[in-house]
Chains A and B, each alone.
Chain A
Amino acid sequence: MTTVMLVDDSATMLMSLKSILTKAGYAVETAGHGKEALDKLGKGVKPNLIISDVNMPQMDGITFAREARKAPGMRFTPILMLTTETEQSKRAEAKAAGATGWLVKPVGPDQLLGVIKQVLPGA
């Protein structure tokens, strides 16, 4: 089963996205910030896709993306940034850190699942 890791400091966002993804048939791992997500990757969690917020306590999403790329087996795993942030400079920063795409909140179920199909064609 395809596993998606959700990283967001908002419990509401995690619940909302988890519900959409679970219903679509994905297994879901959640983390409340970048550091917690990195810890999970370090403990052997191997998601097929990561969807991360940008502005989070302890470790922001862009730093997390940069660090996640260094984790074993995560070099080519798609990382989508899902954020309220619309600054172009932040997008460029995320791209340089290894992010695969940028989605601005709020995102509808069809939009989200459509993007996932694009970055995970076989899933």
Chain B
Amino acid sequence: MANLLRKISMTSAGHEDDGLRGDVVAAAVDGVPAYCEVIDGHLRDVIEQTGEAAEAIVQQLLTVDSLAEVMAGDVDRLAGTLSRTEVELSQVTSNNDRLVGRLIAYFLHRDTQIRTLVDQMRELDQHVKQIEQVSKATNILALNAMIEAVRAGEAGEGFSVVADEVRKLAHRSAEAAQGIGSSIGDLTAKLDGVLSDDSQFDRAGEQPATSEETAMTRRLGGIADAQREMSEMVAGILKDTVTAAAQVQRSSAALTTETTGAVAHVQFQDISRQMLEHVADAVADVRRQCEDVASYVRDALTEEDLLSRVISVEELRSRHVMSRQRSTHARQTGGAVHGEAEPLIELF
């Protein structure tokens, strides 16, 4: 290198030698600083762009993360509401079952009372028939008394009047008994009608499961069954929704973990920034050395100063701070690539 520089220096005054001319060399390296400056500008631009992109990525990941958290919160509240609804629905169903049970018991008791009343009225009808029989017998007795009064002649006239009055009373008793009997019949028929009207709601050919069961109680039971089925269906939907909500929560947690990991990976930008800054420093060294060479051939720099500032690959290696930089350096210079001996995490 020193011999070459001396040769360049000697020919810089315009002497023809073995083809080396200092002014040509100076002209050749004059463009290098500007060239290096452009490269440096590009490197700074890449650093700036990746920095901005990395910040934007982190910002977006944080936005995704916060949305996931909001979603998880919403789903959590929804799951809570659904669970409470499930409990309330169960309580409502239970209350309805109890209410319907009480209604069925009430109607069964009412029907029993009506049947008892009808039976008692039928017994009353028997008494009316006895009264009618007594009236008939009295009427016959009155007729017989009148016959005997006629036979008695003038002495029996008074008795005849009494016998006639007895016959009329017997007749009126019979009419009254018939009226009572008729009224009892009407009432009994109407009460039977109340029970039989109820039965009209029965489906054709279907008989009550028990002697006490009526259409009304069966309908109430049917309503309770339908309501229970509906509650079970809704409870099933609620359970499925709660399960889905739990799945969403798990997915949300996984998403948060992934975004946290992704945010951590953005550290690559800081690492690549430092690597590019080292490259920019190396480019600046090349630029400075070219300027030195140009200054030297123009006699603006001494040989000693020029040689004291010559760049070297070994010096470049000593400035590397990352194991990756050292590995790349070794590969490019044909040296052995060694793994990093020091641990990546060390507590003193």
Contact = CB atoms under 8 A, between A and B. Distances in A.
Interface of A: 8, 10-13, 15-16, 19-20, 23, 55, 83-88, 90-91, 95, 99-109, 111-112, 115, 118-119
Interface string B187-229: 0000000000000000000000000000000000000000000
Contacts of A99: 348
Contact of B342 (A12, A20, A86, A107): A86
A55 B345 contact: no
A55 B321 contact: yes
Given A23-B260, A55-B321, A101 B58 contact: no
B51 A12 contact: yes
A20 B260 contact: yes
B184 interface: no
Nearest to A12: B54
Interface of B is mostly: helix
A16 B348 contact: no
Residue of A8, A23, A84 most packed against chain B (CB within 10 A): A84
Contact of A19 (B54, B58, B321, B344): B58
Interface of B: 51, 54-55, 58-59, 61-62, 65, 256, 260-261, 263-271, 273-274, 321-323, 340-342, 344-348
Contacts of A115: 345, 347
B58 A16 contact: yes
A106 B348 contact: no
A86 B321 contact: yes
A109 B267 contact: no
Contact of A105 (B58, B256, B270, B341): B270
A42 B347 CA distance: 27
Nearest to A92: B348
B270 A86 contact: no
Contacts of B51: 10-12
